Amino acid sequence: MERGTAASRGGAPASGRPRKADPAIYSQIRRQALETKLPEIGRGSVQVVVMDWHADKGTVTVIASADGSASVYLSSGGRFTGGGKQAPAIRDAALHAVSLATGLKLFFEKTESSPLPSLGDVTFYLTTDAGVYRAVAAEVKLRAGADPLAGLGGAMQRIVTEYRVSFPKPGTRAATQ
């Protein structure tokens, strides 16, 4: 997704110069992530994994792609992009999340819609060349490790952690808002 796809074009340049956060772009970028096609990825393979959950002031969306890109978007308009190119740990976290999602496909159902999660739930989406699939888990069960998707939730959270570790100071992240 960092390689020039529509979802990455709205971010700040790789130099890290932040631009003003724009909450209006959140739903558009989220939709684009769910529509992204990676033709170089094998048939039936997971291409993109999306995880949505509620935070204090809105929704957080983490995106991991089979090409190693990873992004974090906030419904307030903030975003962290480009880390998969600049930080091997972020790329590895994205690839690990996609690998885990591949083994969990049986917990997902094909969907034509992509609503945000209800309060207390975490929604996962994965895309393949055959479409978009969705699974919902209770946040409390994920945190306790009591849901089959707990490992995937942890892998997606690792992307957030790796952004924090790899780019710890404001203005030094690959692209932050």
Q: Dmax over Cα atoms in the chain, in whole Å?
A: 41
CA pair distance 65, 1, nearest whole angstrom: 7
CA pair distance 131, 114, nearest whole angstrom: 12
Pairing mode of beta strands 131-138, 48-55 = unpaired
State both tokens at 78. Answer: 């903030």
117, HSE (Cβ side, Cα atoms, 13 Å):
23
pLDDT, mean of each 10-residue run, the chain (177 residues): 36 39 81 88 91 91 95 89 90 97 96 93 96 97 96 97 83 47
**32: Cβ contacts below 8 Å, ≥ 6 apart:** 5, 6, 7
CA pair distance 48, 64, nearest whole angstrom: 6
Full-model pTM? 0.83
Residue 4, pLDDT score = 36
Contact 139, 120 (CB under 8 A): yes
CA pair distance 51, 15, nearest whole angstrom: 27
Residue 161, pLDDT score = 94
CA pair distance 164, 97, nearest whole angstrom: 17
Kindly list the domain boundaries of the chain, sorted by start residue. Answer: 23-166
